[in-house]
Chains A and B, each alone.
Chain A
Amino acid sequence: MTGHHGDAPPDEYVEAEIQSMLAEDPDVAEQGITVVRRERGLVLYGEVESPHRREEILRRVAERFPDLPVTSDIGVIRTQAPTQVEELP
């Protein structure tokens, strides 16, 4: 049975379900988020293209696992012009 129960640390089925959900849910479609299991919950890290996408990821995970403590370390990728060039002779 997949799930998270009480104070037990999340098992690898929880990790797999979240990874699949983030990749396959059409409203998320993120394959670049890493799920790290910790003693007291999960840490999600990676980078996305907009703040809206980060919020959507966290909302989906909270909706599916409401009792699971989740820490977010998801950044929004910068889009500034480069300041340096790579010379390739």
Chain B
Amino acid sequence: MVIRIAAVGDVHLDEDVVGRFRPALEELPDCADVLLLAGDLTRHGTESEARCVAQEFGDLGVPVITVLGNHDHQCDEVPQVVKVLEDAGITVLEGTGVVLECAGGRLGVAGAKGFGGGFAGRCASDFGEPEMKAFVQTTKDSADSLGAALRGLDCDVLVALTHYSPVPDTLAGEPLEIYPFLGCYQLGQAIDSAPTALALHGHAHHGSERGTTPGGVRVRNVAHPVIKQAYSIFHLGDHLD
């Protein structure tokens, strides 16, 4: 039993990029059951950029599931962006999940954008000014919604999809000083609260590909500048046991 997952994040589409991914994407039906997009689909989160995403990642012959990233929030047009993507058949997750029937079994994908905050012992605290409390509350709410979505799925293989990183491992290569802006440990805790097989994220352009959560879940940074190809493919299942 194998489930084939293609994934990429941080494609930052606008008109100048449309068509660059398409030749590689046309191969997807032969090599993947699903394409997961780890946020930052656009440059500024405008409706017109979302249409570029729909054009590039729509009608691929495999289901496409995404979370949004921080760039997709820049112009405060999230409802319009989501509508354009969903009209193109792309499933947008935010504290939600979906189960797909694949040839190799039922694949559950739960996703949330996530947020910064930092990692154990080097993180922001819910203390002090209202702005800092609001920052940390955003972190906690996002992780809580991801955890609930993961635990709520009934499937054979469970995958977590975020934009921000759940672990520091996949940030290696980024300046240490900006780790708190790149992810938070609460996302890892959420991922470890469910029988997650794989966690995918983006956001850290100078990071590295591989890591694991404290609970042993494999984490992959699929940001386009990290993987340096149109997408990566992961085969999940018991085929190598």
The answer on a CB contact under 8 Å between A49 and B229 is no
**Which of A32, A50, A86 interacts with B20 by CB under 8 Å?**
A50
**Which of B11-19, B78-86, B90-98, B145-153 touches A?**
B11-19
Residue of B nearest to A33 (CB): B205
**A29-B71, A79-B20 are known contacts. Are A86 and B235 too (CB-CB below 8 A)?**
yes
- Contact of B103 with A by CB under 8 A: no
Tell me the total A-B contact number using a CB cutoff of 8 A: 77
Give, as a whole number of angstroms, the nearest-CB distance from A57 to chain B.
Answer: 13
CB-defined contacts of B235 to chain A, threshold 8 Å: 85-88
Query: Which range contains the number of A residues in contact with the other chain?
Result: 20 to 34
The answer on a CB contact under 8 Å between A87 and B232 is no
The answer on a CB contact under 8 Å between A49 and B224 is yes
Give, as a whole number of angstroms, the nearest-CB distance from B55 to chain A.
Answer: 15
**Which of A31, A77, A81, A88 interacts with B224 by CB under 8 Å?**
A77
Q: Which residues of B contact A (CB under 8 A)?
A: 4, 11-13, 16-17, 20-21, 23-24, 27, 31, 43-44, 71, 74, 197-198, 205-206, 218, 220, 224-225, 228-241
Q: Which residues of A contact B (CB under 8 A)?
A: 26, 29, 31-32, 34, 46-47, 49-50, 52-53, 77-82, 85-89
